[in-house]
Homo-oligomer: A and B are copies of this chain.
Amino acid sequence: MPLSEFSLIDRYFTGHSRHRSDVALGIGDDCALLDPPLGQQLAVTLDTLIADVHFFANADPEGIGHKALAVNLSDLAAMGALPAWATLALTLPKIDEDWLAQFCRGLFALAEDRGVELVGGDTTHGPTTVITIQAMGFVPPGEALRRDGAKPGDVIYVTGTPGDAGLALAAAFGQATVAPEYRADVQDRLERPQPRIAQGLALRGVASAAIDVSDGLAQDLGHILERSGVGARLTVDRLPLSPALTASLKRDAARRMALTGGDDYELCFTVPSKKTTRLEKLAVAWRCRCTRIGVIEAEPGLRLVRANGSTFSLERLGYNHFG
């Protein structure tokens, strides 16, 4: 006999994650009851992952659980928010207890590691696996890293080495070959993105704008430019290319992958020039690279240039779900 919806929820989604003192009532009633901290704003984000659209249906379920939460924590990081609570809407075509147990292991390991408590859930039966997580966190008023604060002269940075997840995805579709010694690395970058939470917190009061790179660096930077009413000049020679990327693709193809590959969940942010020294000192302590890649300009549009000043061209900026 199949488990009922309710025992399913009971078995897999209660009691796993840590119990935060600001959760007055967790899963199991009509609503969760939460105590927001005094003097903080609540940052709220949500992302949906769909089988065979955002992940391969036959991928490692532990990785899917990790990623479903990670992409949301990445949005909190991009806002400079400290993660606190999450809810999960999980639609499944069938009950597969092994899959669920592994999915939960990935989800709750990351939640535990980042101090997040799952406070609500809805498990439903539908034709395909659809996972929506909403994450909530805190940020002091006026300190959030919005998209609309970039000013001409601000320096543009990116964390990590964008393009690795895009390379893994291209390889999965047979559009690229990953150098054998890097296959596990890039697969891990695709399946287990690490939300840059510490970096986002450090950027409070330093960055003028920030976004996380989910749909490709060029496209996501474009959102900052649009919302801020500015443009940018990006020097492609400065792009921090991983050894995996340079070992697997020719130099210009590697740059294109770093600019357009999705799923990296790095932070792209801008810093006023008078704060760049402070930023670069902070970044020494980070467990990821932090690279200056360009500069904000008054003229709208994104200009990609080589070190010699010639134009670098892209056919597309990034991923479009309905494109």
A42 interface contact, C-beta 8 A: yes
**A121-168: which have CB < 8 Å to B?**
121-128, 130, 132, 134, 136-137, 139, 141, 144-148
Question: Do A8 and B322 touch across chains, with their CB atoms under 8 A apart?
Answer: yes
Any B CB within 8 A of the CB of A14:
no
Contact across chains for A95 and B322 when beta carbons are under 8 A apart: yes
Counting CB contacts under 8 A, is A116 at the interface?
Answer: no
Contacts of A47 in B (CB 8 A): 89, 122
On whether the beta carbons of B76 and A31 are closer than 8 Å, the reply is: yes
Asked whether A41 lies within 8 Å of B33 as measured between CB atoms, the reply is: yes
A72-112: CB near B (< 8 Å → 1, else 0) gives 00011011010001010101000100000000000000000
Instruction: For A30, list chain B residues within 8 Å (CB).
Output: 45, 75-76, 78-79, 145, 147, 210-212
Spot the interface stretch: A21-29, A237-245, A292-300.
Answer: A21-29
- On whether the beta carbons of B322 and A44 are closer than 8 Å, the reply is no
Q: How many residues of A contact B (CB 8 A)?
A: 69
How often does this chain occur in the complex, in copies? 2
Cβ of A296 to closest chain B Cβ, rounded Å? 17
Interface residues of A in 1-27 (CB under 8 A from B): 2-6, 8, 24-25
- Chain A 160-204 interface mask (CB, 8 Å, partner B; 1/0): 000000000000000000000000000000000000000000000
27 contacts between A and B (CB under 8 A): A2-B322, A4-B323, A5-B322, A24-B41, A25-B146, A28-B147, A30-B45, A30-B78, A30-B79, A30-B212, A31-B44, A31-B45, A32-B44, A33-B139, A34-B42, A35-B42, A36-B36, A36-B42, A44-B85, A46-B121, A47-B89, A50-B91, A87-B134, A89-B134, A91-B130, A127-B128, A134-B134
